[in-house]
Amino acid sequence: MPKGFNVLFVSSEVYPYSKTGGLADISNSLPQALNSIGNEVRILTPKYGQLDERRLQIHEIKRMKDLSIEFNKKKHKFSIKSSFIHGKNTKAQIYLLENNDFFKNKGIYQNIRTKKDFPNNDERYMFFCKTVLDVLEVLHWKPDIIHCNDWQTGLIPAYIKTLYKDHPLISDIKTIFTIHNLAYQGNFAKSSFNKTGLPSEAFSDETGMLNGKFSFLKAGLAYADKISTVSEKYALEIRTDKNYSCGMEKLLTKRKNDLVGILNGIDYNVWNPNFDKLIPYRYTNQEIPLKYENKRELLNKYKFEYSEDIPLIGMITRLVDQKGFDLIVESFDELMNENIQMIILGAGEEKYQKFLLKMKKKYPKKLIVHIGYDEELAHMIEAGSDIFLMPSKYEPCGLNQMYSLMYGTVPVVRNTGGLSDTVNDYKKKDGNGFLFENYDSKDMMKAIKLALKIYLTDKNKWYDLIRNGMSHDFSWKASAKKYTALYKNIVASRK
Ligand code: ADP
Ligand code: GLC
């Protein structure tokens, strides 16, 4: 195997240590995929207060215990702990940053108890970014590249290019910034910038300033050597369409030649109906009837009637605007008028939680709602549903439509971002799902009704859609190669 690159992969969420969405899945599976083709990727993430060291097999590293760093004119103690993530034949080392001032409380971005954002999220992730660099002095392992992900890591490239620009160990480390979601920007009051210790040039219109606020994301995009995002379509959308660019159009146009879209893969060790330990009946694309046994079990769990003639629509999602909830709210009664059953698993905005609970009361025989986060149920819904609904307003990549395709659950999605890059229209030879164009509830309902009609009247076609989805290659193979090529390109630019 050719010698690859040393990469420090920095992320605020890594499954199974912490997760609010797809970033956690990617931060687990991409490093392993990159390692399996000859790179040495190690992960660094905060050790949040809720992490159970024993269950997650997190260990002390003696020489990295009780270190200290100066941040915002104060000394802060921290330790780096170690753990490993494993696949069947792959693994990756993960370092966890432990610190009592910023990461002791339970919760990732929000306090688990109050369900409110931590008021000091700016300081928490400033401290994180700064410490990532200081850790390198004691790690005895030097990355060629630091791979940053989302706004929480946005200051790392800015620090390297300014405060550390003459640092003997750090100055020649290159950075990639991957956008998983351009709408989450880490924008804070100007006063927050003063705590970073960055020089004033980092707070200009060209760098970290966005509408007078200090933006971690913008700083990352301005200073990173390369920028990537998680699908080709989204890369194009954020650069060319104001509805997607979230105020970053000028900067992204300027950085056009440094911006690429690389589609996420999925982790077949976790999401594969043939090996999934969280579903009662495992199946391949040759054993589709077993899928219906999972449907029966899922409905049984909620004491719902099972019938082959009643299609089950599933959703697993953060309950936020991005995921198309205003369309769902608008058309809910019309949807419930159809002869369907529906199961929704989600957590998020209060208004959507309330709405769903209200609908559950209104349609007790048709609708199952589970508010909260439930890994096992997520697998059951993928295996047991007939149709997966994902009407996103925008979708950088989206993992659930890919999981659905793998599980033979036909997706109905909006034609945007990664949904466009993974779902093929049912009319095509390699069709695997249904797409609608406009962000409009009528269009969404039309696509759903079409899917229902084909499900009920054309079983052969439906099985073709299922098989096409299940036989598609969503592994990391191709994308891991693309990231490695990007690393190669960026390291070659080093003087
Ligand atoms: P996003 O990252 O925007 O939320 P993705 O489709 O990329 O969307 O990834 C979502 C991930 O989070 C998937 O692994 C999905 O199964 C998981 N997920 C989302 N909400 C829940 C929930 N309430 N319970 C369990 N898993 C969830
Ligand atoms: C973000 C995006 C989602 C993407 C995930 C992983 O949370 O919203 O589309 O799949 O990151 O890249």
One digit per residue, the tens of pLDDT, for the chain of length 495 reads 557 999 999 999 999 999 999 999 999 999 999 999 999 999 999 999 999 999 999 999 999 999 999 999 999 999 999 999 998 889 999 999 999 999 999 999 999 999 899 999 999 999 999 999 999 999 999 999 999 999 999 999 999 999 999 999 999 999 999 999 999 999 999 999 999 999 999 999 999 999 999 999 999 999 999 999 999 999 999 999 999 999 999 999 999 999 999 999 999 999 999 999 999 999 999 999 999 999 999 999 999 999 999 999 999 999 999 999 999 999 999 999 999 999 999 999 999 999 999 999 999 999 999 999 999 999 999 999 999 999 999 999 999 999 999 999 999 999 999 999 999 999 999 999 999 999 999 999 999 999 999 999 999 999 999 999 999 999 999 999 999 999 999 999 876
**What is the reported pLDDT for 131?**
98
User: 410: helix, coil or strand?
Assistant: strand
pLDDT for residue 482: 98
228 alpha carbon, closest ligand:
2
Distances in Å between the alpha carbon of 347 and those of 39, 344, 354? 36, 10, 11
Three-state SS for 55?
A: coil
Ligand 2: residue whose CA is nearest its atom 12: 180
The finding on whether 393 has its CB within 6 A of some atom of ligand 2 is no
Tell me which residue has its CA closest to atom 5 in ligand 2.
22
The reported pLDDT for the residue numbered 494 is 78
pLDDT value for 2: 58
Instruction: Say if strands 174-179 and 226-229 run parallel, antiparallel, or are unpaired.
Output: parallel
Find the farthest-apart pair of alpha carbons in the chain and give their distance in angstroms, rounded.
Answer: 69
| CA 392 to ligand 2: nearest atom | 9
Task: Tokens for 125, please give them.
Answer: 């992730």
Q: At 175, phi and psi to the nearest 5?
A: -130, 145
Distance of alpha carbon 103 from the chain centroid: 21
pLDDT of the residue at 408:
98
Closest atom of ligand 1 to CA, residue 15: 14
Looking at the CA of residue 382, tell me the nearest atom of ligand 1.
16
Cβ < 6 A, ligand 1 pocket:
21-23, 25, 316-318, 345-347, 373-375, 378, 397-400
Given ligand 1 and candidates 15, 25, 381, 395, which is best to mutate, with the most ligand atoms within 8 Å of its CB? 25
State if residue 397 touches ligand 2 by the CB under 6 angstroms criterion.
yes
Measure 356 CA to ligand 2 centroid, in angstroms: 23
E strand or H helix at 356: helix 350-362
* Structural domains of the chain, ranges and CATH numbers in brackets: 6-265+477-494 (3.40.50.2000), 288-474 (3.40.50.2000)
How remote is the CA of residue 489 from the centroid of ligand 1, in Å? 32
8 Å CB contact between 361 and 385: no
Kindly identify the ligand whose nearest atom is closest to the C-alpha of 418.
2
State how far the Cα of 272 lies from the Cα of 157, in Å rounded to an integer. Answer: 36
Distance CA 471, CA 373 (A): 29
CA of 197 to the centre of ligand 1 (A): 35
Please tell me the predicted confidence (pLDDT) of residue 3.
76
CA 201 / ligand 2 centre spacing (Å)? 31
Task: Name the one residue in this structure whose structure tokens are 């300027």.
Answer: 254
Ligand nearest to the CA of 400: 1
- pTM, to two decimals: 0.96
> What whole-number distance in Å separates Cα of residue 456 and Cα of residue 177?
46
Residues 135/80, Cβ–Cβ less than 8 Å: yes
| Ligand 1, atom nearest to 390 Cα | 6
Structural contact between residues 14 and 42, judged by C-beta atoms closer than 8 angstroms: no
Assess contact for 265 and 33: CB atoms under 8 A: yes
- The sheet with strand 213-215 has its strands ordered as 187-188, 213-215, 209-210
Residues 6+ apart with CB under 8 A from 487: 4, 5, 7, 39, 144, 145, 176
pLDDT (0 to 100) of residue 1: 56
- Centre of ligand 1 to C-alpha 25, Å, is 9
* pLDDT for res 495: 62
pLDDT in tens, 54-107: 999 999 999 999 999 999 999 999 999 999 999 888 999 999 999 999 999 999
* Beta strands at 91-98 and 40-46: parallel, antiparallel or unpaired: parallel
At 321, the amino acid letter reads D
Distances (CA, A) of 112 to 48, 108, 116, 281: 11, 8, 8, 34
Instruction: Give residue for tokens 């630019």.
Output: 493
* Rounded CA separation 467/406 (Å): 9
**Ligand 1: distance of its center to the CA of 473 in Å?**
20
The answer to whether the beta carbons of residues 433 and 465 sit under 8 Å apart is yes
Ligand 1 site-directed mutation target among 316, 321, 419, most atoms within 8 Å of CB: 316
